[in-house]
A and B are shown apart, each in its own frame.
Chain A
Amino acid sequence: LLFLPIVVNTWPWPQATEAAWDKLISSSSVLDAVETGCTQCEIDQCGGSVGFGGSPDENGETTLDAMIMDGGNMNIGAVGCVRGIKNAIGVARRVLENTEHTLLVGNLAKDFAVEMGFKEESLSTNHSQQMYNDWRKSNCQPNYRSNVTPNPKTSCGPYKPMRSHVQAEQNSRANLNINQSNHD
Chain B
Amino acid sequence: TVGMISIDENGHVAAGTSTNGLNHKVPGRVGDSPIPGAGCYADNTVGGAVATGDGDVMMRFLPSFQVIESMRHGVSPTQAIEDALNRILKYYPTFNGALVAVSKDGYVGAACTGFSSFHYCVRSHSHQPTAVFSVKC
Residues of A within 8 A of B (CB): 1-14, 16-18, 20-21, 24, 28-31, 33-35, 37-39, 41-42, 46, 49-52, 54-59, 61-72, 74, 76, 78-81, 88-89, 92, 102-103, 105-106, 123, 131-132, 135, 140, 142-145, 171-173, 176-180, 182-184
Q: Beta-carbon contacts of B44-68 to A below 8 Å, as 1s and 0s?
A: 1001101111111110000000000
- Contact A10:B3 (CB < 8 A) given known A21-B123, A30-B13, A183-B22: yes
Question: Are A33 and B54 neighbours in the complex by a CB distance under 8 Å?
Answer: no
Contact of A9 among B5, B24, B29, B54 (CB under 8 A): B5
Contact of B42 among A59, A70, A81, A182 (CB under 8 A): A70
In whole angstroms, how far apart are the Cα atoms of A92 and B19 in the complex? 12
In whole angstroms, how far apart are the Cα atoms of A12 and B41 in the complex? 21
- Contact A4:B9 (CB < 8 A) given known A9-B3, A37-B4: yes
Task: Name B45's closest neighbour in chain A (CB-CB).
Answer: A71
Q: List 16 A-B contacts (CB under 8 A).
A: A4-B105, A6-B106, A6-B123, A7-B124, A11-B119, A21-B130, A24-B6, A39-B18, A65-B17, A65-B18, A68-B15, A70-B42, A176-B22, A176-B54, A183-B55, A184-B22
- Contact A17:B9 (CB < 8 A) given known A9-B3, A71-B15, A178-B96: no
Residues of B within 8 A of A (CB): 1-9, 11-36, 39-44, 47-48, 50-58, 91-92, 94-96, 98, 100, 102, 105-108, 114-115, 118-126, 129-130, 132
- Contact A71:B34 (CB < 8 A) given known A37-B4, A144-B26: no
Q: Which of A35, A74, A80, A132 has the most CB of B within 10 A?
A: A80
Question: Are B23 and A56 neighbours in the complex by a CB distance under 8 Å?
Answer: yes
In whole angstroms, how far apart are the Cα atoms of A41 and B18 in the complex? 8
The 6 closest A-B pairs by CB, nearest first: A3-B106, A184-B55, A71-B42, A71-B13, A184-B31, A30-B14
In whole angstroms, how far apart are the Cα atoms of A46 and B17 in the complex? 12
Q: Which of B21, B107, B114 has the most CB of A within 10 A?
A: B21
Question: Are B42 and A144 neighbours in the complex by a CB distance under 8 Å?
Answer: no
- Contact A92:B57 (CB < 8 A) given known A55-B20, A184-B39: no
Question: Are B114 and A178 neighbours in the complex by a CB distance under 8 Å?
Answer: yes
Question: Are A5 and B7 neighbours in the complex by a CB distance under 8 Å?
Answer: yes
Question: Are B48 and A65 neighbours in the complex by a CB distance under 8 Å?
Answer: no
In whole angstroms, how far apart are the Cα atoms of A16 and B17 in the complex? 12
In whole angstroms, how far apart are the Cα atoms of A131 and B20 in the complex? 14
Question: Are A4 and B23 neighbours in the complex by a CB distance under 8 Å?
Answer: no
Question: Are A65 and B21 neighbours in the complex by a CB distance under 8 Å?
Answer: yes
Question: Are A182 and B22 neighbours in the complex by a CB distance under 8 Å?
Answer: yes
* Extra inter-chain contacts (18) besides given A6-B7, A64-B19, A176-B22, CB under 8 Å: A1-B106, A5-B9, A8-B121, A14-B121, A17-B130, A38-B2, A49-B1, A57-B26, A67-B39, A67-B40, A92-B16, A92-B34, A103-B34, A171-B92, A182-B23, A184-B22, A184-B32, A184-B54
Task: Name A46's closest neighbour in chain B (CB-CB).
Answer: B2
A81: chain B residues at CB < 8 Å are 28-30
